């Protein structure tokens, strides 16, 4: 077997490509500023503190989901089930919080939510790595099954009457910062260290860049991909608990359409759908861009169907840019 190291698997990108990637991220940051200016001019409520809090709260859930999606996409995979997982994890967390009553309801909810997410991620990872079923197919099946499970568990009704302590994760604050935003910042900080300073992070990029070459270099590619889906599921479970905490109930139709926003955030942030390229910093910028876009279009009273068209156009544009960078 070759003694090449994972970092030697892919050739270094050209200086021109690195410059184009930096330019793309700078352009995305400029686009975020520009859309803020446009929406602020169009709607006087856009820059109000209440709306700003609403935007960051919405972005925090999407951005946390996007961390796991970045892991999966970097390996060359995808996950269409994150929205449904948010619903199931939220429902189970609500049941756990209500069962715990006044005895640490939030802790019980988080444990159950993480366990649900881990089970979902392990299921996907197992079928992708063991049976080599395309991730699109596995997660499409999971998307339907998890949503059905959420409605089956609740009979179609929300799970309410939850202890006050359960709301701390979604509606609490610390030093004037909402807890969801703090959670997002902590997870991104941890993720940045994992991506840039650990063997696992290097293996993620190696597997996505050239899976066969990574295997020949000694990387246990199946384990790396399984771990990526497992972590993605756990982050989805945590996001589901946080959303249920914010809404004050476990809602079976929560998270509808989240998969589109999350994938859009990752792709707009510069990750390649072919794997091996992307950063968490770009993903966070992409999540902010999508969150502001959705909020601004809502304030502008744009038809929801037109909003979906606009989001689709943004995704298509990001993929076209990715292909241009790949050919440079």
What is the per-residue pLDDT across 286-328, written as a single tens digit (0 to 9) for each?
Answer: 999 999 999 999 998 889 888 889 888 888 887 787 777 666 6
What is each CA distance from 310 to 43, 66, 114, 297, 306, in whole angstroms?
Answer: 19, 20, 33, 10, 6
Greatest CA separation for the chain: 64
Locate 115 and state its tokens.
């366990």
Q: Indicate whether 36 pLDDT > 80.
A: yes
- The verdict on pTM exceeding 0.85 is yes
Percent of the chain whose predicted confidence (pLDDT) is above 70: 92
First to last CA, the chain: 32
What pLDDT is stored for residue 125 in this prediction?
97
Contacts of 279 (CB under 8 A, 6+ apart): 25, 195, 269, 270, 271
> Tell me: the pLDDT tens digits for 177-202?
899 999 999 999 999 999 989 999 99
Residue boundaries of the structural domains of the chain:
55-255
What pLDDT is stored for residue 328 in this prediction?
61
Q: Indicate whether 218 pLDDT > 70.
A: yes
For residues 84 and 77, what is the distance between their CA atoms, to the nearest angstrom?
18
């Amino acid at each position: 077997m070759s003694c090449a190291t994972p970092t030697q698997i892919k050739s270094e990108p050209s200086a021109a490509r690195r410059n184009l990637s930096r330019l793309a991220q700078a352009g995305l940051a400029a686009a975020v500023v520009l859309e803020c200016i446009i929406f602020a001019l169009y709607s006087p409520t856009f820059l109000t503190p209440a709306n700003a809090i609403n935007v960051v709260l919405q972005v925090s859930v999407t951005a946390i989901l996007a961390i796991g999606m970045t892991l999966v996409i970097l390996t060359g995979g995808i996950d269409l089930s994150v929205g449904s997982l948010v619903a199931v994890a939220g429902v189970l967390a609500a049941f756990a919080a209500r069962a715990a009553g006044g005895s640490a309801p939030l802790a019980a909810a988080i444990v159950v939510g993480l366990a649900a997410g881990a089970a979902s991620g392990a299921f996907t990872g197992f079928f992708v790595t063991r049976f080599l079923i395309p991730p699109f197919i596995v997660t499409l099946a999971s998307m339907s099954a998890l949503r059905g499970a959420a409605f089956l568990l609740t009979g179609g009704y929300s799970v309410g009457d939850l202890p006050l302590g359960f709301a701390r994760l979604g509606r609490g604050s610390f030093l004037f910062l909402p807890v969801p935003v703090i959670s997002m910042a902590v997870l991104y900080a941890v993720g940045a260290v994992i991506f840039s300073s650990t063997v696992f992070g290097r293996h993620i990029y190696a597997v996505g860049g050239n899976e066969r070459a990574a295997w020949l270099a000694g990387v246990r590619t199946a384990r790396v991909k399984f771990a990526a889906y497992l972590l993605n599921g756990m982050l989805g479970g945590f996001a589901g608990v946080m959303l249920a905490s914010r809404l004050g109930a476990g809602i079976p139709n929560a998270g509808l359409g989240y998969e589109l926003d999350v994938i859009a955030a990752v792709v707009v942030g510069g990750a390649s759908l072919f794997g091996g390229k992307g950063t968490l910093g770009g993903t966070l910028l992409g999540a902010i861009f999508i969150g502001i876009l959705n909020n601004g279009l809502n304030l502008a009273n744009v038809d929801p169907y037109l909003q979906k068209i606009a989001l689709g156009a943004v995704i298509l544009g990001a993929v076209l840019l990715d292909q241009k960078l790949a050919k440079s």
